[in-house]
């Protein structure tokens, strides 16, 4: 078979390029601006595979523009940017990057949790603005973390990694998920399964780790926010649309909750102006998995999925294996 023609919407990291360059005929989008949609449609045409980021929408329109595509490898674990059903209908394999980013993302969820509870952003701002007048007894008093109750919403790999870190903080850990975890996991992580509404009512910190699906869209809403304690914080490292940002701003304004720490937004890169204006909100630019080691592993994983398909092997992280069954 001739070398597969592959479009990568990012130059990736050298380690990932090493995996792709030998077996594939590569076209890397190297412009630091994200690839414009029209350019993406034009460049995908005639390609056998595409390595893409979560900022690219892979939908019927793109698949129709690129009828020779056999694989789309997402450099992300979340794949709400990909219409997997449309890929399957057209016989296009889709893959993601599970597992390699769990610890890095959990570390970051904790960094956000600590930052919002202990007002690190506000403290940094105080110093950088030249306004700090020195130590004061009641300066920037936040909320304690140790000994409090952590509520983990979505108890997959990342949610569990977040829960594991709470043991060192002597926290009570509650979790909600569509499926209860095995007893050994609950025991190891000292985690209690609880109904989601009850979790909202008792947790001091609520950390979100659900995929974006129709039933997790606006999971944090006026209704759920009204169940929370006035001293509680929300931490979101999952997907922006899991939180209704307007409802969150209104709840913060009305002091219905104590604060929020966010890495993801409903309309990235736009951030609700009400969030930007608030001191009780910590904002990060979607970097929870952004350690150099982890982002390199993610890019390599996507590259390996592409290479596997054209080697006649099952891509290790294929999301729609039916596509392979249909071909064999």
Residues that bind ligand GLV (CB under 6 A): 54, 76-78, 101, 289
Q: Mark whether 10 is an active-site residue.
A: no
Distance in angstroms (rounded) separating the CA atoms of residues 48 and 6: 6
CB of 195 to ligand GLV, least distance (A): 27
Catalytic residue among 239, 245, 272, 304: 239
Instruction: Say whether 190 is catalytic.
Output: no
The tokens for 253 are: 């304004």
- Closest CB to ligand GLV among 99 and 274? 99
76/112 with CB nearer ligand GLV: 76
> Least distance (Å) from ligand GLV to the CB of residue 213?
14
In the bound state with ligand GLV, the residue whose beta carbon lies nearer, of 216 and 289, is 289
Residue in this structure with the two tokens 């890929």, named with its chain if needed: 87
Q: For the chain, how far is it from start to end, CA to CA, in angstroms?
A: 17
C-beta of 320: minimal distance to ligand GLV in Å?
17
Tokens for 324, please give them. 């392979």
Nearest to ligand GLV of 77, 303 (CB atom): 77
Which tokens in the block code for residue 76? 């992300």
Nearer to ligand GLV, 149 or 238 (CB): 238
Q: What are phi and psi of 183, to 5 degrees?
A: -55, -40
Catalytic annotation, residues: 239, 268, 286
């Amino acid at each position: 078979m001739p070398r597969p023609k592959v479009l990568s919407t990012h130059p990736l990291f050298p380690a990932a390029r090493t995996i792709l360059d030998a077996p594939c005929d590569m076209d890397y989008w190297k412009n630091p601006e994200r690839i414009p949609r029209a350019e993406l449609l034009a460049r995908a045409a005639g390609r056998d595979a595409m390595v893409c980021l979560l900022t690219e929408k892979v939908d019927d329109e793109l698949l129709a523009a690129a009828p020779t595509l056999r694989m789309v490898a997402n450099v992300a674990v979340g794949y709400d940017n990909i219409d997997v059903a449309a890929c399957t209908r057209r016989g296009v394999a889709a893959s993601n990057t599970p597992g390699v980013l769990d610890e890095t993302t959990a570390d970051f969820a904790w960094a956000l949790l600590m930052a919002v509870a202990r007002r690190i952003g506000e403290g940094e701002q105080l110093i950088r603005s030249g306004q700090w007048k020195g130590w004061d007894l009641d300066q920037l008093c936040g909320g304690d973390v140790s000994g409090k109750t952590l509520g983990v919403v979505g108890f997959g790999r990342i949610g569990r990694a977040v829960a594991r870190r709470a043991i060192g903080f002597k926290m009570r850990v509650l979790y909600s998920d569509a499926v209860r975890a095995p007893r050994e996991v609950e025991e190891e992580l000292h985690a209690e399964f609880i109904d989601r509404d009850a979790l909202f009512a008792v947790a001091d910190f609520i950390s979100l780790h659900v995929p974006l699906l129709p039933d997790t869209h606006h999971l944090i809403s006026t209704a759920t926010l009204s169940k929370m304690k006035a001293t509680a914080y929300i931490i979101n490292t999952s997907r922006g649309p899991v939180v209704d940002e307007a409802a969150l701003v209104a709840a913060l304004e009305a002091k219905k909750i104590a604060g929020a720490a966010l890495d993801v937004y409903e309309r990235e890169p736009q951030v609700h102006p009400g969030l930007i204006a608030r001191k009780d909100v910590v904002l990060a630019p979607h970097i929870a998995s952004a350690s150099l080691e982890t982002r390199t592993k993610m890019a390599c994983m996507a590259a390996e999925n592409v290479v596997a398909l054209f080697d006649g092997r099952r891509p290790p992280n294929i999301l729609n294996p039916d596509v392979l069954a249909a071909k064999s």
